[in-house]
Structure 1
Amino acid sequence: MDDAERTAGDFTYIDNFKLLLQWQSPAVAPAAGRRGGRGGWQQRGQGSGAGASGEVEAEDLLPALPPGLTAVQVVADFLTELRGYIFRHLVRCAPAHISAPASSSPLPLLDGSHIGWCLTVPAMWDEAAKSRLRQAANRAGMATAADPAALQMILEPEAAALAAAVLQVPPAAAPAAAATSTARKTGGGGAAVIDEAVEVHLRRIDAAERSDDAASSAVTAAAATARSGPKAGPAPAPAASLCEGDVLLVMDCGGGTADVTLHRVRGAGAGLRLEEAAEGRGVPAGGRFVDAAAWSYLRSELGGGAWDGWRAAHVREWAQLAGSWEAAKRFPGPVSLQLPPALLAAVAAGARKPRGRPRSTMLGLGRRSAAGGAGGPLRPDGVFVLREEVLEARVVGPVVGRIIAAAEKVLREGARAGSAATKVLLTGGLANSAALQRRAASMAASHGAQLLLPRSPSASVVTGAVLFGQLPARVSARRCRLSYGVMTATAWSSAHEDSHRERGYPGWILDDEGERLADDVFKQFVHRGQLVETDEVVVHTFSPIYRSEQSVAFRMYATESSTASYTVEPGMREVAEVELELPADWRSKVQSRHDYKLEAELRFGATEITLLARDLHTRNAVATTLSWTSDPVSLPAV
């Protein structure tokens, strides 16, 4: 779509919209604090202190949505288009055993129920963001009420670790594997043919080296002409592999987030499993933050008015410049970018006109001599140069620093828990950055670990997602990020009395039998940091309080504290609720209310938690997935 077509059709170019699922309420459009036309092209951090310090916050990247649109709807529209594209591809390529020719159509038929979807989510996302993504996927038709299991979600660093562990090529087999076009591997449900392109060749990267991935990759012609010349990489790094007993630190550095997790490798071959060894961390840092810092620097040097006006009016040129930067930023530096003609014209038009001389269209393009003068970043031929010291101080360095700091914390926590990392896996699009590779290799060496890099770091997560959809049991245990429990009432005790006297809670109530009960008690099911098996179920038994009750509400709470006792404590928040209907004559079936048993069950799935309440007398049950929304999606009673 060219700029004229986009403008005439009143279309809006939006990027970074996935970030809104975590950092922006889906029901509220971003505030129009800074002018950005009607589109979402302008980062709200532009013109702020972000350009001066090189630090870009998540809020600086949030796009402004057109009126009437929510983040969930925008993501749903994107996933709808993606789903349609994939479905059309499968129709064209589906093998005979899952399709049949239609009598009146030249295209084969493909049953949509044969397709399972697995979406990846950053490990740092909270339950609310995951819930919003599932809402968007449901709107896009990836799951239905009849088949909710068709959609699964996996944490992105876990997906990367799974791909590295399951599809790895052992060092001795790597040369032979590279010579073959396909490889056959067995996994759980039987044999599966895996294209050689997704084989995970893990390479060991030493602190003094950088990966040859960037240099060996095909660079687009636009990116190649935007640089002063190609940089030859070193010889391929030695191959490596994961094995039983390894403790693997995963640094998944994507576009908007950098997630760090620690996993212990259990078993081998078809029996290989991953067990989370320490609580992971995530930071808002990734390729998008590097990009934003680069554009902030260009904007400050070229002039905010010229940059903003050009970017709003010439989206095609903007996309081309962004593509050139995407290929060039993985190199150490300096980075040279050929500025588009319309941008150069806008900068020239905004330059001050020297008295008595015509306005220059080449030299003096910037607002200050720093941009267009001798030694400035903008050369006379329209090439903008980001020097190595600029990249380190203002563009790449601050983002890499955030990522390394998060990884160091997880490494230290793992070591204190007896799970010192033996290997570090660097994945995600930003893993192609030579600067990040150098820092990560140095960090790994300081902890006595090896840094491993897949042949295609940016493909590891999506490859692992496919594997997880087929073999979900391979991720066998996770650490709880929060403590979870339900609100209940229990017999009044001296501990409740002491808390009431010192802190003002809990309060108390009387049941129908005159028993004094402490209210707002937090019945903990799991505590923060606890290792929980996938598909583990924790069950506790309860009873109704009053004979007049016709339903019982089970309210699930979460807190960062591992020792919380009451739901009214600071930091406690309600995350889900289910209401269980009781039979009208339930009290006539038992002598005491304590004899009528109800169960609350917390079930841990792959990346979501389910709260289920069950009447043990009628077998009636109701469930909901755990979320922070006030209107959780409940499953029908069964």
Structure 2
Amino acid sequence: AGGVVYREINKCSLTAAYWYTIDFGTAFSGYAINITKGQEKSEPYLPRWGKEYGFDTPKTPTCILFNEDEKCLSFGYEAKMAYQEMSGEEAKKHYFFEDFKMELYSKVDLQLTIKAANGKSMKALKVFSESLRFLKEDALRTISRNTQGKNFLASDFTWVLTVPAIWDLSAKQFMREAATQAGIVTEGDEEKLVMALEPEAASIWCKKLPSDGFISEKHNEESLDQSAGTQYIVVDCGGGTIDITVHEVLDGGALKERHKVSGNDLGGQTVDRKFKQFLREIFPEGVWDQFEQNSPSAAQKIMYEFTYLKQVDKDVQISCPFTLGSLIKEKSDTENFVQSELGASWDGDFIKISRDKMRSFYDESLKGITENLKEIFNCGLNIKYILLVGGYAQSQILQQHITDQFGQQCKVLCPFRAQEAIMRGAVEFGRNPDVVASRKSSYTYGFAVCEKFDENKHKEGKKFTAKGVDLSRDIFRKLVEEDEDLGSQGTRELLCSSARADQVEMNLRFFRSLRKDPVYVDDWGVEKVGSFTVDMTGGGKVKLEIDFGSTEITAVGTNQISGETQTVKIDFMTTDRECVIDGDPEDAASVGSEQSGPSDYSD
């Protein structure tokens, strides 16, 4: 495989495009390298991981090890093995993090801290940025080894970073900040980092697969129908999240989203948690928690073994470390210290778990996935396929459940290399972002403005006076509506005008709602998601263009007097306390559309 990279590099001219894709998953992470010359297309190169430890996988565990001085020591298999081999006392001094991606599932900020396996805490931004730094540096070393030592810089590449589609805007911004700190991109060079939504990337890859690239319920060769009008659901089954999107194939092969993204936090780790809860129940009270505290690395080995056993649908057995067996005997007054009526039995050095008990660990996760899919099927769409992708999709129990539930309504397919689908598809997305022609807005978005007060329309409590004019504050100025189709026309234009000649900037508060037509920004169901500042120097009028149609919401301002453009950074991580605007009428500025002229005022 290394030779492929070498030959591709050597035949490429200076016009070649270099791509790195990082699939940063909850349980496993990896990267792909792709070199494209002109209009030619080549297959991405994916390194294999863990061979020195007896593994051979396309991704490495998402775990990272720091020493007691918070210096990064290792990532992936190396970190996991080093931690597992540590004595209990040594492990207590270090910071070992895994499964930490789920810390970004809800709204986050840069002050977020996360706990290591031993309970010690560290800034989340450091954990994420050092993880991305490792993947970046390993990728650059890989390509250097295969090009006779030619040195490449991160800036030589366009980087594609995968994120869940259902993530909050603040989490996407957090990952961009972490990538910047990791040296993947620099300030002013942000366009060299592209965010790809995980289920979209998987969808793009599955469209390319031949019929022998899928596992189907009838074990026959089945490929994805490419004809225009075909609708299918992609269920990205990750370790942390279940991320679902619905696509329709358009003329020419582009994709249109037919249902806004949905999903939950009931991925493969939910099964792991149920297993750990089960261990607490079958052993004498307090044994498992004490074992985890005293021998964290040994506890990690058991959970890692279980990760691979999740793929099968049969009775399983898990090795029991000597330290756990000794602790159990201490706490038990009988030789049969595993409660077999709970679906487990003790066999010397192993804990045996019945097939039915294994299946029960999946109940909560499968119920959540089923509810999400039923909601989509109730929307009147003509779904022809369900595509199961992601590492958790390799589970036979999950595949069979989805087939049993929905196999009469559509075909259920899973690519043979389900764990690689996102990484490979993200390369395609990076090369051609327009392959996803249209997306659905998950929310109604708008910002706070002031309007001329109308007693028949506005609340008296919202009234204030500026420059002799009665105004109503906190009006929700809608830009995009929930469930609206957003494609290449997903940009909204607004004209901002300063109220004072000496005003140098304008602060705007950004809001969202699941309601179609909120009136005020403090109505029920409306939440503030961020803020942004528009530079008004050089002239009092700035045209603001906000792009809602891409994988991130971005904004550009053009000064209507000087003609200068500015990138307007929308801050989705600012807390309410930091983002209070006092509503001083002297700082008010008019805001309007290009068509209607300036009719409103920013708050």
Query: TM-score, structure 1 length as denominator?
Result: 0.71
Q: 2:111 aligns with which of 27, 46, 50?
A: 27
Partner of 1:399: 365
Partner of 1:13: 96
Contact 2:154 2:184 in 1 (8 A): no
Do structure 1's residue 619 and structure 2's residue 580 form an aligned pair? no
1:132 aligns with 2:174: yes
Cα pair 1:251 1:259 within 8 Å, conserved = yes
Q: Distance in 2 between matches of 1:118 and 1:4?
A: 39
**Residues 537 and 319 (structure 1), Cα distance of their counterparts in 2 relative to 1, 3 Å cut:** same
Task: Tell me: CA distance 1:440–1:89, structure 2 relative to 1, closer, same or farther (3 Å).
Answer: same
Contact 2:236 2:242 in 1 (8 A): yes
Give yes or no for contact 2:96–2:116 (8 Å, CA) kept in 1. yes
Q: Is the 8 A contact 2:136 2:154 kept in 1?
A: no
Cα 1:492–1:8, aligned 2, differ >3 Å: closer, same or farther?
closer
Q: Deviations over 1:92-116 (max 9, x none)?
A: 124xxxxxx6xxxxx3222332222
Q: Residue in 2 aligned with 1:261?
A: 245
Equivalent-residue separation in structure 2 for 1:443 and 1:326 (angstroms): 25
The amino acid across from 2:155 in the alignment is S
Q: Distance in 1 between matches of 2:560 and 2:310?
A: 61
Provide closer, same or farther for how the CA distance between residues 89 and 6 of structure 1 changes in structure 2, counting only shifts above 3 A.
farther
Query: Counterpart of 2:303?
Result: 322
Structure 2 match to 1:183: none
Deviation at 1:152, TM superposition (A): 1.5
Q: Deviations over 1:320-366 (max 9, x none)?
A: 323322222121222222222322222222222x6xxxxxxxx3234
Asked if 1 retains the 8 angstrom alpha-carbon contact of 2:533 and 2:569, the reply is: no
2:492 maps to 1:538: yes
Question: Among 135, 148, 152, which residue is 1:82 paired with?
Answer: 135
Equivalent position to 2:157, from 104, 115, 122: 115
Structure 1 residues 5, 340: closer, same or farther in 2, change over 3 A? closer
Match of 2:587 in 1: none
- Deviation for aligned residue 1:389: 2.7
Give the gaps of 5 or more residues in structure 1: 31-38, 43-63, 95-100, 102-106, 175-200, 207-235, 355-362, 587-595, 634-638
Q: Given the alignment of the two structures, is residue 205 of structure 1 paired with residue 247 of structure 2, yes or no?
A: no
User: 8 Å contact 1:325–1:337 — kept in the other structure?
Assistant: yes
CA separation of 1:258 and 1:405: change in aligned 2, threshold 3 A? same
- Indicate conservation of the 8 Å contact 2:112/2:125, yes or no: no
**Partner SS for 2:448:** strand
- Partner amino acid for 1:239? E
Give the structure 2 partner of residue 423 of structure 1.
Answer: 385
Q: 1:319 to 1:549 in 2, by over 3 A?
A: closer
1:598 aligns with: 542
Return the offset for 1:547.
Answer: 5.3
CA distance in 2, matches of 1:8, 1:254: 28
Aligned pair in 2 of structure 1 residues 3, 309: CA closer, same or farther (>3 Å)? Answer: farther
**Cα separation, 2, equivalents of 1:257 and 1:547:** 50
Instruction: Classify 1:469/1:581 alpha carbon distance in 2 versus 1 (closer, same or farther; 3 Å).
Output: closer
- 1:570 deviates by 2.6
**Aligned residue in 2 for 1:381:** 348
SS in 1 for 2:173: helix
2:327 aligns with 346
Shift of 1:553: 2.6
* Alpha-carbon shift at residue 546 of structure 1 (Å): 4.7
Opposite residue 392 of structure 1, the aligned amino acid is R
Change in CA separation of 1:535 and 1:382 when aligned onto 2, cut-off 3 Å: farther
For residues 286-309 of structure 1, give each alpha carbon's deviation from its aligned partner in whole angstroms, at most 9, with x where no partner exists.
111111111210121123533233
Larger radius of gyration: 1
Query: Distance between the aligned counterparts of 2:398 and 2:407, measured in 1?
Result: 14
Question: Quick one: structure 1 residues 620 and 515, their matched pair in 2 at CA, closer, same or farther if it must change by over 3 Å?
Answer: farther
Rounded to whole Å, the distance in 1 between the matches of 2:563 and 2:263 is 41
Report the CA distance shift for 1:252/1:449 in structure 2 as closer, same or farther (over 3 A): same
CA contact (8 A) 1:281 1:410 kept: no
Question: Separation in 2 of the partners of 1:306 and 1:25?
Answer: 36
Whether contact under 8 Å (1:306, 1:347) holds in the other structure is yes
Deviation at 1:159, TM superposition (A): 1.1
- Mapped contact 2:458–2:472 kept (Cα < 8 A): no
C-alpha distance 540-350 of structure 1, shift in aligned 2 (>3 A): same
Q: Which amino acid in structure 1 is aligned with residue 553 of structure 2?
A: I
Change (3 A) 1:408 1:5: same
Instruction: Give the partner amino acid of 1:623.
Output: T
Q: Identify if the C-alpha distance between structure 1 residues 527 and 309 changes in structure 2 by more than 3 Å, giving closer, same or farther.
A: same
Q: Secondary structure at the match of 1:109?
A: coil
Alignment CA distance shift 1:384-1:535 (3 Å): farther
CA distance in 2, matches of 1:457, 1:543: 51
Instruction: Give 1:612 shift.
Output: 3.0
Q: Aligned-pair distance for 1:312?
A: 3.5
Report which stretch shifted further, 11-20 or 549-558.
549-558
- Secondary structure of 1:422 counterpart: strand
Distance between the aligned counterparts of 1:272 and 1:625, measured in 2?
33
In 2, Cα distance between equivalents of 1:387 and 1:507: 68
Residue in structure 2 matched with residue 551 of structure 1 by the alignment: 505
Residue type of the partner of 1:487?
A
Matching residue within 437, 440, 444 for 1:479: 440
- The 3-state SS of whatever aligns with 1:239 is coil
Which residue pairs with 2:79 in the alignment? none
Query: 1 CA distance for matches of 2:198 and 2:404?
Result: 24
Aligned to 1:92: 145
Q: For residues 628 and 110 of structure 1, do their structure 2 counterparts lie closer, same or farther at Cα, with a shift above 3 Å needed?
A: closer
1:54-101 Cα shifts (integer Å, max 9, x gaps): xxxxxxxxxx4x24x12222111211122221221111124xxxxxx6
**2:209 maps to 1:168:** yes
- Cα RMSD, aligned residues only: 2.7
Alpha-carbon contact 2:155-2:185 (below 8 Å) kept: no
How many Å apart are 1:129 and its aligned residue? 1.3
Structure 1 residues 5 and 483: alpha-carbon distance in aligned structure 2, compared to 1, 3 A threshold: same
Shift of 1:606: 3.2
Q: Does 1:408 align with 2:374?
A: yes
Q: Aligned partners of 1:452, 1:583: CA distance in 2, in Å?
A: 56
Q: CA deviation at 1:248?
A: 1.0
Three-state SS of the structure 2 residue aligned to 1:276 is strand
Q: Tell me, in whole angstroms, the C-alpha distance in 2 between the residues paired with 1:542 and 1:392.
A: 58
Q: Distance in 2 between matches of 1:22 and 1:205?
A: 32
Which runs of 5 or more structure 2 residues have no equivalent in the other structure? 1-81, 580-603
User: In the comparison of the two structures, how many residue pairs are matched?
Assistant: 492
Q: In structure 2, how many angstroms separate the alpha carbons of the residues matched to 1:255 and 1:402?
A: 14
Tell me, yes or no, if the aligned pair for 1:3 and 1:314 is still in contact at 8 Å. no
Matching of residues 494-509 of structure 1 within 5 Å: 497-500=456-459, 504=461, 506-509=462-465
Greater alpha carbon shift after TM alignment, 329-338 vs 154-163:
329-338
1:501-580 equivalences in 2 (<5 Å): 504=461, 506-510=462-466, 512=467, 514-534=468-488, 536-546=490-500, 549-580=503-534
Letter in 1 for 2:362: V
CA deviations 1:10-59 (Å, max 9, x no partner) are 212222111112246552446xxxxxxxx7337xxxxxxxxxxxxxxxxx
Kept in 2: contact 1:279–1:410 (CA 8 A) = no
Q: Alpha-carbon deviation of 1:625?
A: 4.2
Q: Is the CA contact 1:613–1:623 (under 8 Å) kept in the aligned structure 2?
A: yes
Cα deviation, residue 276, structure 1? 0.5
Question: Residue 6 of structure 2 aligns with which residue?
Answer: none
* Aligned-residue identity in percent: 22
Specify whether residues 302 and 613 from structure 1 end up closer, same or farther in structure 2 by C-alpha distance, changes over 3 A only. Answer: same
Partner of 2:56: none
Moved over 6 A (4+): none
Partner secondary structure for residue 465 of structure 1: helix
Distance in structure 1 (CA, Å) of the matches to 2:299 and 2:367: 28
- Distance in 1, matches of 2:196 and 2:488, equals 12
| Native 8 Å contact 2:88 2:294 kept in 1 | no
TM-score by length of 2: 0.75
Task: Give runs of aligned pairs for residues 355-370 of structure 1, distance below 5 A.
Answer: 363-366=335-338, 370=341
